[in-house]
Copies of this chain bind each other. A is one copy, B any other.
Amino acid sequence: MSVRLNTNYLSSFVSSEELANIQPQVNVAHELLTSRTGAGNDFLGWTTLPVDYDKEEFARIKAAAEKIKKSCDVFIAIGIGGSYLGSRAVIEFLKSPLYNNLPKDTPDIYFAGNTISAVAIDELLKICEGKDVCINVISKSGTTTEPAVAFRVLRALLEKKYGVEGARERIFVTTDKAKGTLKHFSDEAGYETFVVPDDVGGRFSVLTAVGLLPIAVAGIDIDGLMNGAAAAMEAYKCPDLAQNDCYKYAAIRNILYRKGKTTEILVGYELYAAMLNEWWKQLYGESEGKDQRGIFPASVIFSTDLHSLGQYIQDGMRNLFETVISVENNPVVFPIPDDPANIDGLNFLSDMDLNQVKKTAMQATLLAHVDGGVPNMLIELADRTEFSLGYLLYFFELACAISGYMLGVNPFNQPGVEAYKKNMFALLGKPGYEDARAALEARLG
């Protein structure tokens, strides 16, 4: 089992009776999801993706990644939200947050088009100077402002540098399978295209071409990811909480939320997990944060943030709970060197592997935070491999769907994301938005 939910630290907060009592609601959520009768049922493609993905496209992703690896020093993935968080999370988790700074035989990877910033695009162009560059623009519609602007700039750069013909070999487009101007333009221009499926929302898209192409460019085994996700899909078919850790995670979140634990902190113990936290925050925040409800998703990396948010978690408002991810098998070891001078008084740790110290710090923190009144769940991930991470991604996606249905929301829409966009287009003078402009401008302070 690649993922195990350890609830031993939860016993003073959630009883087994409570879990038994909520089983009927879990069953309802399970039925809504599997019968495809729940809200948002047009967006359930991710549920079966690990087995029914497009094998021909999958092979093209691998081939494109090989081509990209051979032809560039810098690969730029252009996308925002679900169009970059998944791939970035996987690359940092399996490779490193310092991937670009470490020696390797794959290209540097940068993420662009995820913000509106003159400084950021200016810096990216500096980084590209004198380097061979390939890009992958990832946008369902092709009209989202942030990636569209980055694509304008970087396509122009490539065409200037390599000519229109040369640029064609360096531009890869992940977009709608048929609709939209980006798809049409790409076909005309001769760019290789990949598909953002119609029935998979952005935050559930990491195991589609959206995530997989950048992930493959980093030299990560995408078969392993898919196999892990497929194993999780198989493992979580029965809704019985005694057998289904994924549903159990969803159920416990729901129980805690109803007790006033309205903020969940996802805790990692390695810096390489920081972007996985960010992916999870979008997944849960966007799926559940609606209709004036939902658990607020926050995240930390310990022990780092024990020296930052640790004080609050130990002693602050008691509306928190923590979900801790522990990677169990750590092949990279590092024994603490002995210091004859023992300046720091730590010679009692000499020769102890840092993984052992890390694990002890985690146990110590679990006990301390539980004593402080913070419910803690522990997700034990077998190892830092493609298979286990694919398993975990599916675990979180499935738990999110069950959790959202238990909460009584549509876990697959994001109506609130449109509000700022409508205002922005009106204020920027986009054709069709003229009516709202004057009223908005009058409110600006």
Contact = CB atoms under 8 A, between A and B. Distances in A.
Interface stretch (A59-67, A219-227, A390-398, A437-445): A437-445
Contacts of A145: 303, 346, 349, 357
A337 B373 CA distance: 54
B444 A363 contact: yes
Interface string A100-139: 1111000010000011111111110011010000000000
A165 interface: no
B294 A316 contact: yes
Contacts of A282: 307-309
Nearest to A145: B346
A416 interface: yes
A315 B413 CA distance: 12
Contact of A423 (B80, B354, B367, B419): B367
A286 B313 CA distance: 9
A278 to B, nearest CB: 7
Contacts of A428: 348-349, 352, 357, 360
A379 to B, nearest CB: 14
A114 B306 CA distance: 10
A349 to B, nearest CB: 6
Interface stretch (A23-31, A48-56, A146-154): A146-154
Contacts of A126: 102-103
A371 interface: yes
A115 B294 contact: no
Contacts of A429: 348
B142 A123 contact: no
A150 to B, nearest CB: 10
A289 B320 CA distance: 12
A298 B296 contact: yes
26 contacts: A117-B354, A117-B358, A118-B333, A118-B358, A119-B270, A119-B332, A122-B334, A142-B343, A145-B357, A149-B346, A185-B341, A185-B343, A281-B308, A286-B308, A286-B309, A288-B316, A289-B311, A289-B312, A290-B315, A292-B315, A292-B318, A293-B316, A307-B417, A311-B415, A364-B426, A365-B424
